Amino acid sequence: MADQTCSISGLSALLSTAGSSNATGAAQYICSQLKTAALITADLTTAIDATFLLFSTYLVFAMQLGFAMLCAGSVRAKNTLNIMLTNVLDAAAGALFYYLFGFAFAFGSPSNGFIGHHFFALKSVPSPGFDYPYFLFQWAFAIAAAGITSGSIAERTQFVSYLIYSSFLTGFVYPIVSHWFWSADGWAAANRNPNDSLLFGSGAIDFAGSGVVHMVGGIAGLWAALIEGPRIGRFDHNGQPVALRGHSATLVVLGSFMLWFGWYGFNPGSFVTIAKSYGPVGSPINGQWSAIGRTAVTTTLAGCTSALTTLFGKRLQTGHWNVIDVCNGLLGGFAAITAGCAVVEPWAAVICGFVAAWVLIGFNRLAERFQYDDPLEAAQLHGGCGSWGVLFAGLFAKKEFVEEAYPGRPGRPYGLFMGGGGRLLAANVVQMLVIAGWVSATMGPLFFFLHKMGLLRISAEDELAGLDLTNHGGGAYVYYDEDASGGGSHGGGFMMKGVNSRVDPRLTPTSSIEV
């Protein structure tokens, strides 16, 4: 009777007719209609959650455009094509390897605590708990980690090494880390299966990936840049730093705003679902939708506080108002809040952003002292601020928010400064140590092997000339007028600026903008 239309007239006819058989029929009719309504509601809830997750995925994927623009603006014009191509291939190669191996290693359940071993090439997907939108969301996170690393070794790396490390990172290294801390089978996950014990009775809380994404990408970039060494001319004969400025502050600001926009999918989207109530039915505020909004607020406040702190901090150091520093400070605040965004109060996010700015400034000073060269400040920003974010979550996580984000285990530990003891902080310290160890043990030897095989760094001649000219058939920009007759050697070029002669790329630029 489930296909009947639930109508007042039909139900009245049944109830008004004498006889127990009709009363039974009325009850069956009502129950069947309620059951149908419940099934329709469940389908609708699933559709709403899937739509929310897909929309968040698209926002996270838009961060690839932000990375591409940020990287392009931060390098010299002669390397623009190269760095943008690496960003495209991070996504393209990452999609294939995450599809074949990465998703299975990360979330292939049931599995052991170290590595997943189901869903290779999405076999048996969709299945309960794992549908295509979830795969796409996790892929967007994986390629974000690879994009972080590419910035650390910009302007001096052979193209083939990008393909090798990016595939290895997205197909194996990153998925193992995400399995440990995000899979229900992971040995240190805060959302571990109910029957499994939690690390220190808590599990490591890294809600959206200060450690899983940003530390992984930053530490991989750290090893790559250390093994490669600094760019030619980055430090003088006395070891003093020499600014090799990026060619476009405009692209840096554009990329930063795109990343800001994408972070609203990165952090709030990590809830995965939105149609979930925490309190009585009908309450407008006791639901996951409210927690998602709060997560967007904490993300915003941390980034903005870090940007302003960096602005004035660098002003005291250099005497200038530098938009590039402000953009990096903004992103450092976002990287830091990512771990605790869902479990802290907005006021705590302000503290997170303030400290993140000084972490970034401090690591940049250390990088200069030890002649470490990272054109995007990726290791300092993502590795350093990401590490602070993991600690921050262990200090400021609020009990109520922790139990909402990780339900099913009442009385679990929360932030040290919020009265929850030190077990959550201890779990997060373990997370920091194992991520640093795992990435160092895997990506470090890979980059060292590529270096020894002569596959990592380009020649000095190619570096001085620029990767665009030597590896990609020309520059991203054309600095001459199209020949009027159309038959000259430069015919068909896009007109941007007319000069009488082309600039020899091997000459050291004298202007403030490096080309």
How is residue 372 written in tokens?
């470490």
Question: Residues near 407 by Cβ (< 8 Å), separated by ≥ 6?
Answer: none
- Please give the pLDDT value at position 12: 56
Q: Which CA distances in Å does 402 have to 126, 201, 240? A: 29, 13, 47
Other Cβ atoms closer than 10 A to 209? 29
Signed CA dihedral, 29, 30, 31, 33: sign only? positive
Helix spans in 267-345 (H) = 288-318, 323-337
Q: CA torsion 316→317→319→322, rounded to 10°? A: -100
- Please give the pLDDT value at position 478: 78
The secondary element (H helix, E strand) that includes residue 439 is helix 423-452
The secondary structure of 129-176, three-state, reads CECHHHHHHHHHHHHHHHHHHHHHCCCCECHHHHHHHHHHHHHHHHHH
- Please give the pLDDT value at position 486: 46
- Please give the pLDDT value at position 447: 96
Q: How many Cα atoms occupy the beta-carbon half-sphere of 443 within 13 Å?
A: 37
Q: Which CA distances in Å does 222 have to 95, 230, 373, 379, 390? A: 24, 12, 9, 5, 18
Give the Cα separation of 231 and 376 in Å (integer): 13
Q: What is the pLDDT of residues 11-29, one digit of tens each?
A: 555 555 545 456 667 667 7
AA identity, residue 492:
G
Q: Which residues of the chain fall short of a pLDDT of 70?
A: 1-24, 26-27, 282-283, 479-515
Q: Which CA distances in Å does 193 have to 108, 113, 202, 385? A: 14, 11, 13, 30
Cis omega before residue 284 (within 30°)?
no
- Please give the pLDDT value at position 479: 66
Q: Domains plus CATH for the chain? A: 38-279+294-471 (1.10.3430.10)
Q: CA nearest 14: which of 26, 29, 2?
A: 26
Q: What is the pLDDT of residues 53-76, one digit of tens each?
A: 999 999 999 999 999 999 999 999
With b for 16 or more beta-carbon neighbours within 10 A and e for fewer, the 106-128 pattern comes to bbbbebeeebbebbbeeeebeee
DSSP string, 52-95: HHHHHHHHHHHHHHHHHHHHHHHS-GGGHHHHHHHHHHHHHHHH
| Radius of gyration in angstroms for the set of CA atoms belonging to the chain, rounded to a whole number | 27
Helix, strand or coil for residue 457? strand
What is the DSSP-derived secondary structure letter of residue 204?
B
- Please give the pLDDT value at position 495: 43
- Please give the pLDDT value at position 485: 44
- Please give the pLDDT value at position 68: 95
Pairs from 37-42 (Cβ < 8 Å, separation ≥ 24): none
Q: Are 186 and 435 in contact (CB under 8 A)?
A: no
